[in-house]
Amino acid sequence: EHFLKGLPKVELHAHLNGSLGIKSLCDLGERLYGSSSEEFLKLCARFSQFEKNMDACFEKFAFVHELTSTRDGLRFATELAVRDFAEDNVQYVELRTTPKANENYSRRDYLQTVIDAIKEASETYPEITVKLLPSINRAEPVDVAEETVSLAVELAQAHPNLILGIDLSGNPGKGRFSDFAPILAQARDTGLKLAIHCAEIENPSEVKEMLQFGMSRCGHGTFLTPEDIEQLKQRNIAIECCLTSNIKSGTVPSLEEHHLKRIMEADAPKVICTDDSGVFDTTLTKEFLIAAETFGLTRQQCIDLTLEAVHHSFASEQEQIQMADRVGNYAVILA
Ligand code: 5GP
């Protein structure tokens, strides 16, 4: 565990609002309301309920969204998420988040607030590099996705080293991929990379459409067939594997049956990720530990998985070289 904790890890699949654990939510409540306020005490009462029933994961999304429904809440939350990844020795994280609009902010304000917070956090936590992938929530109407992509394209011009791609996520049972494909294609044409949640539930015709359309990385890939996995291998598209998330959300029955095993056996590209470290009460260190214990991974395999993540990140070549160096130096020191 000590070895995995110290490893300068690379996180490629992390949803911002899902990445706040109980402790960070407490810190967020304290910053927003002050530790002696009535609001804060009410929050603590709700936290303790969550702690008793850790598996009520999805209720937590709505709960976190309440706390990040103001600009200050969103700004602090972003900083706390970066803090938590830095504390876990994650050297690079691509944070994804769905721009939201409410009475406190527009979708543009949302993204700008997150961008500003990431820039601030990068000064406080210089040991971690943070990138941003605005998310399309497929459960929302297509015109929202259009707005998200046009904002992402515009803001990526202003912050080319920060906004690197677009994520397609949200309830996989809702919305049709084909409705979002034209907008995703537009984003891709401007140079943004695409990270697409694919085969999260069983839907072979949609998986076919998605593979035909193409993507830079595949989120989850739980229900990919051996032929699909072979195709991703041939095209060097990495599958983002999130073990605890898949178990807790019930798409995979047990760790032993997790598709990471099949992907490793096929020698297809893969990365180990947290998905929602807060909601699922995990860290990237824990995910590596679980993968290592379940599938008997050696230290060298954990290092190789980290290097694989480096190469499938959307970072520049120069940044990838620096990341790989950090991993290499760590491995040498411990050898
Ligand atoms: P946010 O975009 O608000 O920062 O992060 C939380 C959101 O990410 C959720 O409301 C949901 O739309 C998306 N999300 C988080 N985890 C998952 C997941 O495992 N699968 C899918 N499809 N979407 C997810």
* Token pair of 310 as six digits: 């480096």
- With vertex at residue 222, the alpha carbon angle to CA 291 and CA 244, rounded to the nearest 5 degrees, is 40
Closest approach atom of ligand 1 to CA 137: 12
pLDDT of residue 90: 98
C-alpha distances in angstroms, 87 versus 92, 233, 279? 12, 33, 17
Tell me which residue has its CA closest to atom 15 in ligand 1: 15
Active site residue 200: yes
pLDDT of residue 54: 46
Q: Name the strand (E) or helix (H) holding 268.
A: none
Tell me which residue has its CA closest to atom 14 in ligand 1: 170
Residues 187/208, Cβ–Cβ less than 8 Å? no
Which residues are 239's β-sheet partners?
Answer: 218, 270
| Ligand 1 proximity of 278 Cβ (cutoff 6 Å) | no
pLDDT tens, residue by residue, 235-281: 999 999 999 999 998 899 999 999 999 999 999 999 999 999 999 99
| Ligand 1 proximity of 135 Cβ (cutoff 6 Å) | yes
Q: What is the pTM of this model?
A: 0.97
**How remote is the CA of residue 170 from the centroid of ligand 1, in Å?**
5
Burial class (CB in 10 A: 0-12, 13-18, 19+), 213: middle
Q: Which domains does the chain have, with CATH numbers?
A: 2-334 (3.20.20.140)
Closest approach atom of ligand 1 to CA 100: 3
pLDDT tens, residue by residue, 157-208: 999 999 999 999 999 999 999 999 999 999 999 999 999 999 999 999 999 9
Annotated catalytic residue: which of 200, 206, 240, 287? 200
ipTM value:
0.99
pLDDT of residue 213: 98
- With vertex at residue 125, the alpha carbon angle to CA 122 and CA 131, rounded to the nearest 5 degrees, is 40
Select from 17, 97, 169, 275 the residue to mutate for testing ligand 1; criterion: most ligand atoms less than 8 Å from CB. 169
* Token pair of 284 as six digits: 């990237």
| Ligand 1 proximity of 100 Cβ (cutoff 6 Å) | no
* Token pair of 80 as six digits: 């706390």
Alpha helices in the chain (DSSP H): 2-6, 22-33, 38-52, 57-67, 71-87, 107-124, 142-158, 177-189, 204-213, 226-234, 243-248, 260-265, 284-295, 299-312, 317-334
**How remote is the CA of residue 262 from the centroid of ligand 1, in Å?**
25
C-alpha distances in angstroms, 293 versus 1, 171, 250, 300, 303? 10, 30, 20, 14, 15
C-alpha distances in angstroms, 201 versus 133, 151, 284? 22, 29, 23
Residues 238/308, Cβ–Cβ less than 8 Å? yes
Burial class (CB in 10 A: 0-12, 13-18, 19+), 265: exposed
**How remote is the CA of residue 169 from the centroid of ligand 1, in Å?**
6
| Ligand 1 proximity of 97 Cβ (cutoff 6 Å) | yes
Q: Quickly list DSSP for 86-115.
A: HHTTEEEEEEEE-----SS--HHHHHHHHH
Q: Return the half-sphere exposure (C-beta side, CA atoms, 13 A cut-off) of residue 129.
A: 21
| Ligand 1 proximity of 170 Cβ (cutoff 6 Å) | yes
Phi, psi of 218, rounded to the nearest 5 degrees: -110, 120
Residues 222/259, Cβ–Cβ less than 8 Å? yes
Q: Which of 271, 331, 282, 275 is nearest to 306 (CA)?
A: 271
| Ligand 1 proximity of 222 Cβ (cutoff 6 Å) | no
| Ligand 1 proximity of 306 Cβ (cutoff 6 Å) | no
Orientation of helix 107-124 relative to helix 142-158, angle to 10°: 40
What are the residue ranges in the chain where pLDDT is below 50?
A: 54
